[in-house]
Chain A
Amino acid sequence: GNSVTQMEGPVTLSEEAFLTINCTYTATGYPSLFWYVQYPGEGLQLLLKATKADDKGSNKGFEATYRKETTSFHLEKGSVQVSDSAVYFCALETSYDKVIFGPGTSLSVIP
């Protein structure tokens, strides 16, 4: 079946550090892939997406590349800020147009 696996959190980084959050998936076909972010006390919002293999999604300094050969969609940012502290969810769209989510990775950035 379809599933999304993310690295365990929480992740704590110093400001300006490099961020990687790993995401791998299991799915049939070529699903669209997403990263959503949830700031404290809020709902999730789309951070970036990629709809086909080798696509790179990017937004607010975050990037992720759709790697079909490794079934991965790792999130990266070169220099994190305190305002990036949030929970990050990797997600995929199944062949039945449903979106399923990974367990989320909590990120704390300290000054």
Chain B
Amino acid sequence: DADVTQTPRNRITKTGKRIMLECSQTKGHDRMYWYRQDPGLGLRLIYYSFDVKDINKGEISDGYSVSRQAQAKFSLSLESAIPNQTALYFCATSPSSGANVLTFGAGSRLTVL
């Protein structure tokens, strides 16, 4: 099994629908992140969590929310999806000490029509 598992891998939805992307990890890392990837823009940080009771906004958090259900689980929600949220979303984890090396999931491709 993968160290970081994202579900679903692909999702097509309509404007206004609520969507949840889930992430689970077996690395035992305290830190978890959600990034969004758009062509030519690289990865931009949406939310991050340094432990179960810690949630922080990243650079593009508007329109998104997150929940850290356990050390191993971190979900991203779009309460009312809009077309410009069409993107590839990545969950990542990292240890809480040493250089901040990220372990990524395989990505969730979301299309909002």
| Residues in A lying within 8 Å of B, measured CB to CB | 4, 32, 34, 36, 41-46, 49, 51, 89, 93, 97-104
Contact = CB atoms under 8 A, between A and B. Distances in A.
A44 B100 contact: no
Given A43-B4, A103-B40, 6 more contacts: A45-B104, A46-B101, A89-B42, A99-B94, A101-B42, A103-B41
Measured as residues with beta carbon below 8 angstroms from the partner, the interface class of chain B is 20 to 34
A32 B101 CA distance: 10
Contacts, number: 53
Q: What secondary structure prevails in chain A residues at the interface with B?
A: strand
Interface of B: 4, 31, 33, 35, 40-45, 48, 50, 58, 90, 92, 94, 99-102, 104-107
Q: What secondary structure prevails in chain B residues at the interface with A?
A: strand
A45 to B, nearest CB: 7
A101 B40 CA distance: 11
A93 B43 contact: no
Contact of A97 (B41, B50, B90): B50
Contacts of B106: 41-43
